[in-house]
């Protein structure tokens, strides 16, 4: 077998592979033997069909299968032997004829990582937000924490109002006929939650305990049950109980429910966490400014396969976060196509950034010490309160370990770049300023 590798572009290589005649002959012979075992030709017993008849009836199929087999057996070996590291599936661009006692030649093109030489990466001029922490954030977060402990209690008020939770019995009718799944007893409904048919909750507001009422609504045209969509309906409703939200007082007792000794300690904990979160946001923004500057100064092509892989990673990560919140992409009205359209530019920037960082690491001979990896695993174990051996076992997976090392090396390169950069601290941008910038970018 002979292989010629041609550089088509900075992101694509072409392999011209010639398979020796004896290998081709052996593949064809094996194909015709298999065909002979199952050949069903009138006048001949299975396994006794002459070769000429086999070639006449099964020749095209045997040759087709032989071509596929030869490509499968030689393409990836050729890539490995010639150190061609593909970032996506190879594409067969040309296949020659396959004949006994003749070599077989075919061509394939593969996308590869571009070999770049990063430039203008030291002495970058960057802006970093000044940390202006507003203690009002602490009070807001504690109020939210208190809201999470809200309980429902029977109200002394006679009438239901928005925000109340009512216990109701109801039965729905269309043209005076009850419809399937249109009735319930002791149903708990929060007024104003918009969880029921539009207009229903508004008409329950103001009802009293033990009051019965007929409520008229229209099912939306887009309603899930097609037999109900767009139709007018009448519901007979009985309000059995009215409950209101009772928020706990913000005091030492509340603090103890969140694991603090008193309110002062809870405020300090919330403040520390909020400060760390804000510091993390500012750091992430600085790194994003750094990466944007690098990408702007280093123009190069990237293979579509790497973009698609990054989009897949982003989608998986985003989907996992949504799943933890009981949501999905579909619930946000997104599918694979719309996700790719929305996040493509982000994927492109991330791929370019990673390639630039890899290049800088090589150019500056920045390496990762094994001891640093050990320390990182120990930190993971401490943070998650898990045994170190369990963490190490997880990173026995080659892909997981490579991902960890890649992330740590990138962090080391970013640290090197920030040390050489000129960083100017600036006041945080106001929301209206950010909106103006977004409009300018879009226009």
Crossing angle between the packed helical segments 263-297 and 136-147, to the nearest 10 degrees: 110
The pair of structure tokens assigned to 324 is 């933890």
| 128: its two tokens | 């970093």
The pLDDT value recorded for residue 439 is: 45
Of 38, 227, 267, 246, which is closest to residue 142 (Cα–Cα)?
267
Tell me what pLDDT residue 443 has. Answer: 41
* 192: alpha, beta or left? (left if phi > 0; alpha if psi -120 to 50): left
Compute mean pLDDT per 10 residues along the chain, 443 residues long, and list them: 95 96 92 77 66 78 92 95 94 92 95 95 95 92 91 94 95 93 93 92 96 94 86 96 93 94 95 94 95 95 95 93 85 87 95 96 94 94 92 93 94 96 89 53 46
Q: What is the pLDDT of residue 45?
A: 62
pTM of the model: 0.71
Top CATH class of 2-111 equals alpha beta
Task: Locate the domains of the chain by residue range.
Answer: 2-111, 151-246, 261-442
* Residue 57 to residues 27, 31, 51, 130, 188, Cα–Cα distance (Å): 18, 13, 10, 80, 73
CA 45/CA 54 separation, integer angstroms = 12
> CATH topology of 151-246 equal to that of 261-442?
no
pLDDT, residue 442, reads 47
Closest to 183 (Cα-Cα) out of 174, 195, 175 = 174
Contact predicate 347/314, CB 8 Å:
yes
CB 111 within 8 Å of CB 304: yes
CATH 3.10.50.40 fits 151-246, yes or no: yes
The CATH number of the domain covering residues in 261-442: 1.10.3120.10
Closest CA to 134 of 289, 270, 288, 284: 270
């Amino acid at each position: 077998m002979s292989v010629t590798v041609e550089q088509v572009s900075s992101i694509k290589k072409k392999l011209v592979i010639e398979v020796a005649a004896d290998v081709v002959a052996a593949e064809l012979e094996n194909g015709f033997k298999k065909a002979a075992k199952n050949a069903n030709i009138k006048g001949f017993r299975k396994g006794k069909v002459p070769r000429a008849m086999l070639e006449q009836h099964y020749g095209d199929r045997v040759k087709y299968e032989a071509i596929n087999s030869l490509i499968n057996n030689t393409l990836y070996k050729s890539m490995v032997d010639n150190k061609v590291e593909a970032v996506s599936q190879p594409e067969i661009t040309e296949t020659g004829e396959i004949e006994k006692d003749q070599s077989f030649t075919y061509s394939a093109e593969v996308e590869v990582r571009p070999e770049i030489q990063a430039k203008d990466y030291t002495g970058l001029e960057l802006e970093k937000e000044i940390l202006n922490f507003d203690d009002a954030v602490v009070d807001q977060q504690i109020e939210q924490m208190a809201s999470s402990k809200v309980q429902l209690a029977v109200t002394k008020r006679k009438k239901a109002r928005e925000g109340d939770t009512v216990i109701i019995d109801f039965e729905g009718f269309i043209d005076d006929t009850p419809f399937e799944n249109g009735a319930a007893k002791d149903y708990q409904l929060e007024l104003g939650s918009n969880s029921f048919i539009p207009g229903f909750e508004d008409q329950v507001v103001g009802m009293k305990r033990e009051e019965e009422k007929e409520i008229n609504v229209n099912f939306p045209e887009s309603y899930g049950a097609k037999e109900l969509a767009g139709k007018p309906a009448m519901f007979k409703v009985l309000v059995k109980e009215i409950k209101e939200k009772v928020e706990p007082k913000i005091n030492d007792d509340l603090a103890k429910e969140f694991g603090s000794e008193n309110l002062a300690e809870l405020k300090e904990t919330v403040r520390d966490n909020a400060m760390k979160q804000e510091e993390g946001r500012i750091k992430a923004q600085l790194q994003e400014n750094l990466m944007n500057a690098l990408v702007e100064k280093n123009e190069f092509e990237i293979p579509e396969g790497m973009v698609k892989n990054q989009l897949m990673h982003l989608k998986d990560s985003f989907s996992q976060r949504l799943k933890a919140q009981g949501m999905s992409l579909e619930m946000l009205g997104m599918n694979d196509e719309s996700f790719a359209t929305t996040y493509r530019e982000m994927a492109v920037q991330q791929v370019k950034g990673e390639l630039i960082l890899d290049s800088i690491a090589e150019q500056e001979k920045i390496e990762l010490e094994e001891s640093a990896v050990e320390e990182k695993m120990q930190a993971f174990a401490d943070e998650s309160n898990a045994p170190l051996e369990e963490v190490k076992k997880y990173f026995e997976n080659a892909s997981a370990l490579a991902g960890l090392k890649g992330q740590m090396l990138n962090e080391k390169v970013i640290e090197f770049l920030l040390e050489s950069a000129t960083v100017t601290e600036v006041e945080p941008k106001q929301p209206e300023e950010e909106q103006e910038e977004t409009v300018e970018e879009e226009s």
